[in-house]
Amino acid sequence: MVRIKICGITMMDDALAAAEAGADAIGLIFYPPSPRAIGVEAAAAILAALPPFVSTVGLFVNAQRSWVEKVLQSCPLDLLQFHGDELAADCSGFGRPYIKALRVLGEEDLRPQLRAHPDARGFLLDRAVPQLWGGSGETFSWWRLPALDKPLILAGGLSPDNVAEAIAVTQPYAVDVSSGVEASPGRKDHGKMRDFVARVRAADR
């Protein structure tokens, strides 16, 4: 079964609606330049209100260690996601597993990047856009993802309209959506979230 992460959550009602729709995980962006960034206090409140068995992921971009540690003091995140130029040493030592985002344009050999982060639990593939961090919102040329020893998560421009095709082509471990289920930057469309989850589950069948 393909796992589903809904990222860029900024509001309590959106977080609860994502969980109710059937998302396996929600993503909280701790990268202030992003229009989907969330403050520590608001994130902590959302984490406290979520039902059980919904994983929480904190997204960071080239962050100082002190910033990640400050967030974790208030926010008991399940998983960290590093979306910048971080080396393996920058992602480790926080007492949390992590996933690393890889910026791609299409089919390529992913193994060198995977070897550079041997402790990562998985790798998220997003479109490479120069000088843009924290999620592109654009698709790349999909291809059948290779069978490697780490889960591969598909992101970048996914929406209810294209996620079934994306899954059929790439066969990912998980899909990650943000702008494709939004009403406006940082605010989710609850109907689109339900539709996205339903189409992923239909693709599973």
Which residues are the active-site residues?
A: 7, 126
Angle between helices 40-49 and 65-74 (to 10 degrees): 40
C-alpha–C-alpha distance, residues 41 and 197, integer Å: 28
C-alpha–C-alpha distance, residues 19 and 56, integer Å: 11
Query: Around Cβ 23, how many Cβ atoms within 10 Å?
Result: 25
